[in-house]
Amino acid sequence: MSSPEISKAAKMLQQGEVVVIPTETVYGLAANIYDATAVRSIFELKGRPSNNPLIVHIKSFEVLSEVAKNIPDTALKLASHFWPGPLTLVLEKQDTILDVITAGGNTVAVRMPNHPIALNLLQETGFPLAAPSANPSNYISPTSAENVRKAFGERAPFILDGGPCQKGIESTVVGFKSDGVYLYRHGAITKEALEAALDGVEIKTITHESASPASPGMLLKHYSPRAKLIHTADVKQHLLNVQGKQVGVLSFNTHYTHPAIAHQLILSPSGNLEEAAQGLFNALYELDSKGLDIILAEVFPEEGLGLAINDRLGRAAAE
């Protein structure tokens, strides 16, 4: 990426515009965290409810104290282990953080992205960037510039194209309460990796039901393609009941044979969950562009990154 492109994006952000940025997880819809009008236009563009707070992206550890305060030791430990990287920490916010970012709450979500373009841009703007995933609310998160264009069409803002995202699934969101560390959203860093970095401290999982309003992003329906998506451990059984329908299949490493299958994508023939996560959203975009009636998506192994993949597919299937 040429630095004139980054300078152009930095200038637009300084002028209060919204810009699409690449990160290692998914593309983000970014604005200056200190410009309330700019941040509001993120919500407008996405059609995102104002009660769902945004993640603040920072360029270095030094900036963390500009954004958050009273940071627990466990949070510092996780940050020093995983940043820059796909870990978002929910912390007590500094007074200067705008209500529009935190949905009026007193916590702020923060991460340092691991992408050279995002980091160079943050360096050049001088202010942190609020950025949700660059998709209309409830649609599939984009992992390429092309998918951002597919998602927004003519409404797409200026896009810094950083190529395909390396992780392909959003950051893991972690919060801190007096009784311990909580996982708010499964993501590109597994629970096991977090626990190992904390020398075995147990990380508790917040359920969908108990999430609201702590992390509205955990509410069930999300990531929905236009086709009806069925998330199932038994694709074969569902294939028996799809007469007359155009069916797409999304699997981990199994190849299915059935006359109803119009399109089939296998995410990792060798059975590698990292590879599967990396290709997941792109596969959903691809299947959703085929005009299918039904997408049958396999339930992935309930371990490691399989938990994040199943979380996204489960929510894509929710009515």
- For residue 297, what are the CA distances in angstroms to 157, 230, 250, 271, 273? 31, 6, 5, 15, 15
Angle, to 10 degrees, between the axis of helix 305-317 and the axis of helix 273-288?
20
- Closer to Mg ion by CB, 206 or 247: give it: 206
The letter for the amino acid at 221 is K
102 interacts with, out of Mg ion, ligand TXA, none, CB within 5 to 8 A per kind? ligand TXA
Instruction: Report in angstroms how near the CB of residue 148 gets to Mg ion at its nearest.
Output: 13
Is residue 52 near ligand TXA by the rule CB under 6 A? yes
- Closer to ligand TXA by CB, 130 or 260: give it: 130
108 interacts with, out of Mg ion, ligand TXA, none, CB within 5 to 8 A per kind? ligand TXA
28 interacts with, out of ligand TXA, Mg ion, none, CB within 5 to 8 A per kind? ligand TXA
Instruction: Report in angstroms how near the CB of residue 247 gets to ligand TXA at its nearest.
Output: 29
> Of 74, 114, 133, 171, which lies in the binding site for Mg ion, with binding defined by CB under 5 A?
133
**Residue of minimal CB distance from ligand TXA?**
217
Is residue 26 near ligand TXA by the rule CB under 6 A? yes
Instruction: Report in angstroms how near the CB of residue 28 gets to ligand TXA at its nearest.
Output: 3
131 interacts with, out of Mg ion, ligand TXA, none, CB within 5 to 8 A per kind? ligand TXA
**Beta strands 19-21 and 68-69, pairing class:** unpaired
Instruction: Report in angstroms how near the CB of residue 241 gets to ligand TXA at its nearest.
Output: 34
Binding mask 240-279 for ligand TXA (x = CB under 6 A): ----------------------------------------
Binding mask 73-112 for ligand TXA (x = CB under 6 A): -------------x-x-x-----------x--x-xxx---
Tell me how many residues contact ligand TXA (CB under 6 A): 30
> Rule CB under 6 A: which residues touch ligand TXA?
23, 25-26, 28, 52-55, 86, 88, 90, 102, 105, 107-109, 113, 131-133, 170-171, 173, 184-185, 214-218
